[in-house]
Amino acid sequence: MTLLETITGPKDLRTLTVEQLGKLAQEIREAIITQVSATGGHLAPNLGVVELTLALHRVFDFGHDRLLFDVGHQCYPHKLITGRYPLLSKLRTRQGMAGFPEPSESPYDLFRVGHAGTGISTAVGMARGDSLNGEAYDPKTNPDGRRVVTIIGDASIVNGVAMEGLNGAGVLKRQFLVVLNDNGMSISKPQGAMAQYFDRVRVSHTYSDFKRGAKELLKHVPGGGMLREAYHRMGEMTKAAIAEDSWFEKFGLLTVGPIDGHDLPTLIEFLSEARDMDRPMVLHVKTIKGKGLDIAEQDATKFHSPKAFKVQRTEQLGCRVEMKSGGRSFTAAFGDALVDLMDRDAKVVTATAAMPDGTGVVRAIEKHPERSFDTGICESHAMDMMAGMAKTGLRPFFAVYSTFLQRAFDQAFQEVSLQGLSVRLCLDRAGLVGGDGAVHHGFCDIAILRTLPDAVLTAAIDEPSLKAALEFMRTWDGGLSSVRYPRDDCSQRFVNESCPPFELGKARLLTPGFADLDANRPDVAVLAFGTPAIAAMDAADRLALDYKVAVWDARFAKPIDAALVRALLSRQIPVLTLEDHTVIGGFGSAVIEAAQEMGLDASRVVRHGIPDHWIMQDSRSKQLAEVGLDASGIARMIRHTADPERNAPFVASVSELAEVSQPSGSR
């Protein structure tokens, strides 16, 4: 039995020697590498925080104290030592361990965390709440009270919300610890002036001198080696020696470090001192992203969240990595299409918020670096920057995950739409995203953007339609526009057919036999926004013997193809709307609103999309089956739309989750 297999909770760490903790760290790394290489997941960020996580749980009691993560993708070691090692083998599935902190799994996870920058603010809230409840740690009045710790890393300290959190933390009159996991990386290379500041700190003499001399410094402090004694007795002189002119001190936080984040004895010693401080402080920890796997250390961006992979080592070729291959992804298709736009139009510029690889913008950065920008984890800034560029006459394309778009909605409203500026949003990971689960689903972009006057919202069903949508957006200067596409491979169903250009507010008929509705009246008309159109075609094929199904690629959620809606409803043809988006305020709602505005009877319009409950982690295919957006579920909805009295609708409910999660559970 390995040492890791004996760990049932953090209390077990306190029985181990430092040498045993080092052995446990190696076993944790091996377990994470083995699992992620088999299934995919977040690798490099977790490998970098193993010793830090062990030291934190060794020193603090987070069954009582508070531990809040900022970027949740660095939580695997934390989960493995809080009783969830048995769940690792089914990582990122419904039956296993979520890839982000998940309170339903364990009381050691306080928030579901998938977005960066939030940890300090939520920790400030818990610190204030514990103080108001009389539960806060105080060395004199309540030594058994709760302490609060938050870990922030992967360059998310540059996020605007993190700045606001630091501003709030600096005025706390109690213990509060921010652990800055500084690995010199974001998801990719960090950007901006703050990243340059941390680079200077890491390469300066301060880090090496402090690492060598910290213990000696504190030995000579009157009253012993306690940081709190050093701070209170020697004041500003000692504070300057510990972290000279620290940026965090401007916020009112005592700062220590940077210290070596892989040196367990040093980590334990300094965390033990920080545990008993009576004021807010920052412990600046230097770690190596991907630590323990040389290929991940050398290319932390590639191994941030890889697909399944195999490592092959030979004397002739050295170390080679083979990653599980799939079809051509929408992300890759977008990256190529964007470069093509930039090749043809010198006014096209692009930006991403720390996701050049994840969004496909990396190709544009390589070929057109002067017109391509990575802002770091700063979606709000990126949106405003794009607005400024649009004001100068450029044609900006902002590539962002749908789930991160809402972080910049205020800017989309105030600085883009309100100004009538033409910023183009390229929404990757729209809809259900698979293993990342609820924290990353892009389920509300249509609903929030549809509220903006003059916004134009499009969706792609495959690579040719994505190219056509981007070309439409390139020349659309009437205001904010967007195109959404999923974390999936591009369908090849229509690859050999010509893709007509996008025309504002016009749908595309995918079943040409129904071009004349009077000559060939369908039993059901399916209006699908985005890739559900492909599944609808598969469903129509299955039902061909029983039902005449016409399928349209709606293309636009705003403006709706009002002429098509009128043509269908005036002929009393039942309409089924489909979308990989919540049914609340989405494409289907837009169809009903359009019908009512035209005075048409919308009672035969049936909406189908993501239901009003959280969809947890699993494969994207299983999630689509769970909510009935696979071919089987859509076929059931077509039958219901055609004859609602005889055919029950597809209803996704919590009671059905176990059934659909099985490999053979598609409906």
Is 5 in the active site? no
Residue ranges of alpha helices (H) inside 571-667 are 587-597, 620-626, 631-642, 657-660
Six-digit token pair at 238?
Answer: 């000692």
The CB density around residue 81, as the number of other CB atoms within 10 Å, is 24
119, 69 contact by CB (below 8 A)? yes
Dmax (CA) of the chain? 96
Is 379 in the active site? yes
CA quadruple 138, 162, 242, 77: dihedral, nearest 10: 80
Cα gap 307→322, rounded to integer Å: 10
Six-digit token pair at 47?
Answer: 């490998």
Cα gap 32→456, rounded to integer Å: 43
Report how far apart, in Å, the C-alpha atoms of 17 and of each of 12, 353, 484 are: 11, 42, 52
Cα gap 133→70, rounded to integer Å: 24
290, 185 contact by CB (below 8 A)? no
**CA-based end-to-end distance of the chain:** 42
The CB density around residue 497, as the number of other CB atoms within 10 Å, is 11
**Strand ranges (E), 110-220:** 148-153, 176-182
CB contact burial 38-49 (16+ within 10 A = b; e otherwise): ebbbbbbbbbbb
Closest CA to 304 of 71, 99, 51, 46: 46
183, 139 contact by CB (below 8 A)? no
Six-digit token pair at 538?
Answer: 């598969």
Cα gap 220→216, rounded to integer Å: 7
The continuous run of DSSP H or E covering 483 comes out as: strand 481-484
514, 522 contact by CB (below 8 A)? yes
The continuous run of DSSP H or E covering 24 comes out as: helix 18-39
Q: Which of 273, 379, 415, 463 is flagged as catalytic?
A: 379
Cα gap 548→521, rounded to integer Å: 8
Cα gap 177→169, rounded to integer Å: 9
Is 656 in the active site? no
Six-digit token pair at 182?
Answer: 């500084």
Cα gap 556→469, rounded to integer Å: 10
Q: Which of 147, 289, 429, 604 is flagged as catalytic?
A: 289
SS3 286: strand
Six-digit token pair at 327?
Answer: 């079809």
Closest CA to 638 of 506, 499, 518, 511: 511
Cα gap 133→129, rounded to integer Å: 6
Q: Which of 92, 228, 407, 487 is flagged as catalytic?
A: 407
DSSP string, 76-131: HHHHHTTT-GGGGGGTTSTTS--SS--TTT-TT--S---STT-HHHHHHHHHHHHH
Residue ranges of alpha helices (H) inside 314-433 are 330-344, 356-359, 362-367, 379-391, 402-405, 409-411
Cα gap 380→351, rounded to integer Å: 12
Residues annotated catalytic, as ranges: 289, 379, 407
